[in-house]
Structure 1
């Protein structure tokens, strides 16, 4: 019986050092490092996140996706005026679970001071240098994933696809 076990061990050791098995092991390690979970985020989910950020003086927030851009529409109250606005945001980068969008267009006007007053609502929403940073960890679908950070984001049709690395 001992001799049988020793023979099996020798054959397994030889097999473990076989060039094809070595390639499989190396490729498996590379693939594991690139593994991710695709998470679809709808416009409604982002709209809910913006409402939860409690943006003062902004009402009737509506979020849509249009040709690989995020469009936010609403009504801002400044002093006694109600001013309808439209923001067109382009996905920019990700860091951890925070995604950033560059403001491509803003109607009626692009005013840094006003944007900062309206959109700087830490910790969920932050505004800096014509970029809006949105912490997506406030969304249940992201919060349920205990480990991993967002590796990539892409708008495809009516969905913002996030790739959360594992």
Structure 2
């Protein structure tokens, strides 16, 4: 008699576009922030207030991220493209969201353990992950 375990290949977890949007909007200077997850990239778009001298201007931005590395419960994304201008200070203002995101050297690290949906599972590391339409799906090892 064999035993069937529904979690034999790991515990499935999904992080949705709405979840990432909510985190990026927290304490953010960004407006109209939208997150789109496709099978190849995560794309963030919106507007950011930029101050230059005594003037303030809302600048539209679009950031494209590609997952490149997993370690324990952290997924690293490469900043593939930033439009219209690639400025570190804009990336810092968007992705400086500890404990969820860290930004350094064109790499965004997402600590999935900061999400309640993952934190409730006290053991395991990210075994696999994939981008699908609307979500980042991953499996935690047991």
- TM bin (shorter chain): 0.7 to 0.9
Unaligned runs of 5+ in 1: 1-33
Aligned equivalents of 1:160, 1:145: Cα separation in 2: 17
Matched, 1:146 2:122: yes
Deviation sequence 1:41-76 (CA, Å, 0-9, x none): 211122123234x33x22222111134210111211
User: Are the structure 2 counterparts of residues 69 and 44 from structure 1 closer, same or farther at C-alpha, using a change threshold of 3 Å?
Assistant: same
Q: 1:149-164, aligned counterparts within 5 Å?
A: 149-164=125-140
User: Are the structure 2 counterparts of residues 124 and 41 from structure 1 closer, same or farther at C-alpha, using a change threshold of 3 Å?
Assistant: closer
Q: Paired residue for 1:78, among 38, 50, 57?
A: 50
Structure whose residues are more often helix by fraction: 1
**Structure with higher RCO (Cα < 8 A, 6+ apart):** 2
Residue 59 of structure 1: aligned partner: 31
User: Are the structure 2 counterparts of residues 161 and 67 from structure 1 closer, same or farther at C-alpha, using a change threshold of 3 Å?
Assistant: closer
1:82 positional shift:
0.7
1:108 positional shift:
0.6
Aligned equivalents of 1:49, 1:121: Cα separation in 2: 7
> Root-mean-square deviation (CA), in Å?
2.0
Equivalent residues, number: 131
Unaligned runs of 5+ in 2: 1-7
Q: TM-score, normalised by structure 2?
A: 0.80
Q: TM-score, normalised by structure 1?
A: 0.70
Q: Paired residue for 1:133, among 100, 109, 115?
A: 109
Structure whose residues are more often strand by fraction: 2
